[in-house]
Amino acid sequence: YYRIGGLQADIDPNFVSNVKELCKYLRPMVQEYLDVFGDNVITHQRFCNVGVMDEKDCISYGVTGPAGRASGWKNDVRKNHPYAMYDKVDFEQITLTHGDSMDRYYCHIQEIYQSLNIIEQLIDNIPEGEFYIKQKPIIKVPEGQWYFSVEGASGEFGAYLDSRGDKTAYRLKFRPMGLTLVGAMDKMLRGQKIADLVTTGAALDFVIPDIDR
């Protein structure tokens, strides 16, 4: 796990070979899920034209990640504001146009393939050296305001920090991935059936601990 100063632990000696094997295993498995679920007539009846949201509304509600890209909004933080190694790898920003639950599902599936492509490009280039640099017990952050975000599985995850130069932050605020998704369900579900709540929520892919506030 990431932490200030590096990583919690070094990688296992078999990590690289295990990751390569996992990538080979996942590709046909993901395709199988796509064939069985994505091409299912019942899936299309329950997902198509359900929970529709256009690009303009996604921007207004802050619906990022696959849910926003399924409506045509190119909001991938890795492309718009590259960090880590994302400016050095080749991957596609998946965008669709219908903005319904079906397109959100397809967007999630296609992004799994993109993630596998990224992993395969980088797995043989993990640098050697220290995985953690010891830090001071107390870190004083220079005075100022910062916002930094990364691309999470369900959208943009950000952190806002306001420092007055003390040993504790004046203000620290997180932008969770799922909170804006749930907030937009009011717009998505207007005129829909009660049963569509389950379909819409599943396609948004939020998790309860992320919205429990």
- CA dist 103 and 111 (Å) reads 12
Homologous superfamily (CATH) of 2-211 is Cytochrome-c3 Hydrogenase, chain B (1.10.645.10)
- CA dist 85 and 124 (Å) reads 14
pLDDT of residue 213: 67
**Residue of 104, 132, 62, 131 lying closest to 200 (CA atoms):** 104
pLDDT of residue 175: 94
**Residue of 68, 54, 50 lying closest to 194 (CA atoms):** 50
- Outline where DSSP puts E strands in the chain: 2-3, 6-7, 144-152, 155-163, 171-175
pLDDT of residue 2: 78
In the predicted model, residues of the chain with pLDDT beneath 70 are: 1, 213
pLDDT of residue 127: 87
pLDDT of residue 191: 92
pLDDT of residue 3: 83
pLDDT of residue 212: 77
